[in-house]
Structure 1
Amino acid sequence: MTFDDVRKIALRWPEVEDGTSYGTPALKVRKKMLVRLKEDGDSLVMPGVPGDEREMLVESQPKAFYFTDHYRDYPMVLIRLSKSSRATVEPFLRRHWRTLASKKAVKEFDSQA
């Protein structure tokens, strides 16, 4: 996967827009970060992943999921796009989108699905 692939997935959802965060491309929902490309150009910074879930992901799929000391105390996981598939990334994106989007947008999206 690439960040362009991630963009194509997420920009189909209501209230998602292009942006930047820490000087890298990002996708935002109502001005809040959905996801951003890490400075290495291959990893996503994925918020909304609690520590216990992150630990399980890193342990079960270490080539795709990881975190650095910088993110240790935050509910985030890093996802290597080059080692991931849409089937791996999209559910995390969608779940986090649901927490950021308005209730109306989520309801409309669900009614069309």
Structure 2
Amino acid sequence: METDPLLERVRAACLALPEVVERMSHGTPCWFVRGKKTFVMFADHTHGDPHVAIWAAAPPGAAAQLIDDEPARFFRPPYVGGRGWLGLRLDLDGEDALDDDELRGIVVEAYRHVAPKRLSALL
């Protein structure tokens, strides 16, 4: 898969949420709630990562569980993994490929994890 269509899928999922802003941070597109709190980063071979992926905020314990259950798809991203963030490979094909509903679900959970309650309630 090419990177640009993957980025567009992530962008569409993130920008569909209330008060989300996209800007570059650490050399990669990132999405912020109200321009302040990052909830998703697009990782195109970022910081030595061999994959095209997203790094997403996750509720406590969720990342560890997903990584244990599906290590081919999910991983602990550098820098933010220690804070419970989840890495999700976007460059897989076949039955491991991420569908749009699953991508939206992970993006929404990341948003809910960092957004103020008033914004989360809008979902």
TM-score range normalised by the length of the shorter chain: 0.7 to 0.9
Give the TM-score normalised by the residue count of structure 1. Answer: 0.77
Instruction: Tell me, in whole angstroms, the C-alpha distance in 1 between the residues paired with 2:15 and 2:66.
Output: 25
Listed as ranges, the gaps of 5+ residues in structure 1 are none
**Is 1:6 the counterpart of 2:15 in the alignment?**
no
Counterpart residue number, 2:23 = 19
- SS of the residue 2:55 aligns to: strand
The number of aligned residues is 108
> Could you list the runs of 4 or more consecutive aligned residues of structure 1 that deviate by over 4 angstroms after TM superposition?
68-72
- SS of the residue 2:83 aligns to: coil
Task: Give identity over the alignment, percent.
Answer: 22
Listed as ranges, the gaps of 5+ residues in structure 2 are 47-51, 93-97
Give the TM-score normalised by the residue count of structure 2. Answer: 0.72
How far did 1:98 drift?
A: 2.3
- SS of the residue 1:25 aligns to: strand
Instruction: Tell me, in whole angstroms, the C-alpha distance in 2 between the residues paired with 1:69 and 1:104.
Output: 31
**Is 1:88 the counterpart of 2:102 in the alignment?**
yes
- SS of the residue 2:120 aligns to: helix
Letter paired with 1:92: I
- Provide the alpha-carbon RMSD of the alignment: 2.3
